[in-house]
Amino acid sequence: MTSELMDAAAAGTWRLGDRVVNRMGFGTMRLTANPDTSVAIRVLRRAVELGVDHFDTAAFYCSPGGIIDVGPGPVRYATELIRAALGSYRHRVLLATKVGPMLLPDGRWSAADSPELLRGQVVENLRRLGVEALDLVNLRITRNVAVPLAERFGALAEMRSEGLIRHLGLSNAALGDLNEAERIAPVAGVQNAYSLGVRGDEELLRVCGERGIAFVPFFAIAGARREAGVALPSDPDLRREAEVLRVAARHGVSEHQVRLAWTLHQGPHVLAIPGTGDVAHLEQNVAAAALRLSETDLADLGRPLTPDDASE
């Protein structure tokens, strides 16, 4: 695709809370992987130049190698990279963050399963981002914890009433979770794993559209490999690889761009947040906002799988 097509606005817009944003956004999970933080800062600023105005992050996105250096002091968290890169663009972008999982000092993961711990994560987000209120906070739902969902989401709703949070959302949610949360406070978005190969909850996607709630898939490219990165040809969720490659060849684009375009074709309320730590990959991802799949393309990508697909 040519450079003039690299514009996040090409995918259209959706109202997320009280803001209209371009449906092609950016996820920051991978930004802390590179110890050279100048690269991450270039990626973030280039994303804004390309029209991205919806950035997704989390209280627990941090460098796996420990503290890294950026300018005046040590940085470990994606939120601090965002503050360093986007401070002057703050009025132009919506920052969505997540709370729930927490990294303990000894390196183990736990769950912020109490109102007190969730408040602590919100306060840390505010401090690291350097803002007085968070645009959107998604509660990452952890199962098998003692504190009921209503109490955890209610704690965030209380912080919303205090003016610390503008809008609330859910992550890793089921339809029952959405129904329960909406009885407490408005839900602006649902962020779940969803991709061409790993479909997830189709009913939840449909209900979100009916209720005017943004549906924000993560791992739209990586699929079942999740944090491990882009899927490999041997992975089960790539059994459609032959169809993906055929569609990509028709349009002269990459298979990853086809997967992102397919995601955006799932409804006007569906937002994409592909993440990368590379400027060239960012530009390719944003270019997928302009890719229009035909009915034939969508039919090929959505056809039922057969046992023979495993060997294609």
Give the tens place of pLDDT for each residue, 208-234: 999 999 999 987 785 444 444 444 544
Predicted pLDDT of residue 88: 87
DSSP E strands in 141-255: the ranges are: 165-171, 189-191, 214-215
Instruction: Over range 84-98, report the average pLDDT.
Output: 93
The tokens describing 184, both together, are 């407490």
pLDDT in tens, 17-36: 999 999 999 999 888 888 78
In a domain, 299, yes or no: no
Q: What percent of the chain has pLDDT over 70?
A: 84
| Predicted TM-score of the model (pTM) | 0.88
Phi-psi region of 17 (alpha: psi -120 to 50; beta: other; left: phi over 0): left
Q: Phi and psi of 267, rounded to 5°?
A: 155, 150
Q: How many CB atoms neighbour CB 219 within 10 A? A: 27
In a domain, 220, yes or no: yes
The answer to whether residues 21 and 271 touch, using CB atoms and an 8 Å cutoff, is yes
Three-class SS state of 24? strand
Catalytic residue among 61, 77, 89, 194: 61
Buried b (16+ CB within 10 A) or exposed e, 163-181: ebbbbbbbbbbbeebbebb
Token match 């209209």: residue? 20
Q: What is the DSSP letter of 193?
A: B
Q: What percent of the chain has pLDDT over 90?
A: 67
pLDDT in tens, 263-275: 999 999 999 999 9
In a domain, 304, yes or no: no
Burial of 240 (0-12, 13-18, 19+ CB in 10 A): buried
The answer to whether residues 247 and 293 touch, using CB atoms and an 8 Å cutoff, is yes
Residue 165 domain boundaries: 9-234+264-294
Strands 19-22 and 101-103: unpaired
61 is catalytic: yes
In a domain, 116, yes or no: yes
In a domain, 3, yes or no: no
In a domain, 300, yes or no: no
In a domain, 119, yes or no: yes
Return the bridge partners of 168, or none.
137
Residue 94 reports pLDDT greater than 90: yes
The answer to whether residues 111 and 57 touch, using CB atoms and an 8 Å cutoff, is no
Q: What CATH number has the domain bearing residue 214?
A: 3.20.20.100
pLDDT in tens, 128-144: 999 999 999 999 998 88
Predicted pLDDT of residue 87: 87
Q: What is the DSSP letter of 231?
A: P
Residue 116 reports pLDDT greater than 90: yes
pLDDT in tens, 48-61: 999 999 999 998 88
Residue 198's identity, in one-letter code, is: V
* Number of domains within the chain: 1
In a domain, 80, yes or no: yes
Instruction: Over range 170-196, report the average pLDDT.
Output: 96
